[in-house]
Structure 1
Amino acid sequence: MKHIKHGLWLCLLIALIACSRLQPIENIASEPLPAGSEQLELEQIEAAIIRAGAKRGWILQAEGSGKLLGTYSPRDHMAKVRVEFDRQQFSIHYADSDNLLHEGEKIHRNYNRWVNNLRHDIIAEVAALAATGD
């Protein structure tokens, strides 16, 4: 009986640890681009987003005007996002994943960190481009 109680406690502990790694999926909707981005061509913004993602290992591929599909595959994990943008704003939405404990509207906390880093990198890359006007 004592072994059964220890086994149940161990199962509960493992379940709690697994749940603490899950968070609600954070989609980024209508994030404003930096000042000056409205003066850029859509192709320039697309190139800036692709460069921003590449800095952290994202592979972003065009899916049409103002739309990209991004894939990030560190180690044995994979996350896919859809990036939509125009000359004033952009959005990043969950598309797919492997080995990230995806359950309904929850996912491993690393996913949100990766997407948030991508968000910051896009803003910085577009800001630099808008500042130089290249």
Structure 2
Amino acid sequence: MTYLLRVTLIALALLTTVSCSSKRMLTPDRTLHASIQSDRAQMQQAIVKTLVARGWTVQKITPQLVQAQITVREQYHAEIDIPYSANHYQIAYRDSSGLDYKDGKIHKNYIRWVRLLDKGIVRELKDHQNERTARQLSESALAKPL
């Protein structure tokens, strides 16, 4: 009986470990808050800058789409599409290897990479907005006579 109990516990531990490494697919679909003013070129620049900063390779850029890929330790590979407009973008899964994609679930590393991209793009857009606001304020202050 002890042997059967050990085998059962080991099997449960293995199943728990396997199930923890796969998570439900994440596809950020973000519409910018009205306080962040952006045009299509600024959106494209924020997306590309974030991809490069995070180690992704940009494969293709069009006025409506950025395609990128990443390979980590020659073991994990993911490809994404990012359709975008002036105030909206989506990070969509295209393909992968080594990330165990199956039935809408994928390795937790992919989820982390996509979350970091999403946060980075928003941060870039906010930074650009803050720079523009600061520039406008300084220009208006310089234009006023003392």
TM-score in same-fold range (> 0.5): yes
CA distance in 2, matches of 1:130, 1:31: 16
* Secondary structure, aligned partner of 2:93: strand
Q: Give the conservation status (yes or no) of the 8 Å contact 1:49–1:126.
A: no
CA distance in 1, matches of 2:30, 2:50: 18
Q: How does 1:38-57 map to 2 (within 5 A)?
A: 40=39, 42-57=40-55
Aligned to 1:24: 24
> Deviations for 1:27-73, whole angstroms, at most 9, x for unmatched residues?
11233266121xx3x23321221111111101223353220112121
Identity of aligned residues (%): 21
Q: Give the conservation status (yes or no) of the 8 Å contact 1:23–1:108.
A: yes
* Secondary structure, aligned partner of 1:97: strand
CA distance in 1, matches of 2:41, 2:54: 21
Letter matched to residue 68 of structure 1: V
Q: Does residue 35 in structure 1 map to residue 36 in structure 2?
A: yes
CA distance in 2, matches of 1:95, 1:31: 21
Unaligned ranges ≥5, structure 1 = none
Unaligned ranges ≥5, structure 2 = 136-146
CA distance in 1, matches of 2:3, 2:99: 32
CA distance in 1, matches of 2:122, 2:58: 16
CA distance in 2, matches of 1:95, 1:20: 23
Structure with greater Cα Rg: 2
Q: TM-score, normalised by structure 2?
A: 0.77
Letter matched to residue 113 of structure 2: W
Q: Give the conservation status (yes or no) of the 8 Å contact 1:48–1:126.
A: yes
Q: TM-score, normalised by structure 1?
A: 0.83
RMSD over aligned Cα, in angstroms?
A: 2.2
> Cα distance, 1:10 vs. partner?
2.3
CA distance in 1, matches of 2:79, 2:120: 17
Q: Does residue 72 in structure 1 map to residue 70 in structure 2?
A: yes
**Relative contact order (alpha carbons < 8 A, sep ≥ 6): 1 or 2 greater?**
1
CA distance in 1, matches of 2:16, 2:70: 27
Aligned to 1:11: 11
1:31/1:74 Cα in 2 relative to 1: closer, same or farther (>3 Å)?
farther
Q: Give the conservation status (yes or no) of the 8 Å contact 2:36–2:125.
A: no
Letter matched to residue 17 of structure 1: T
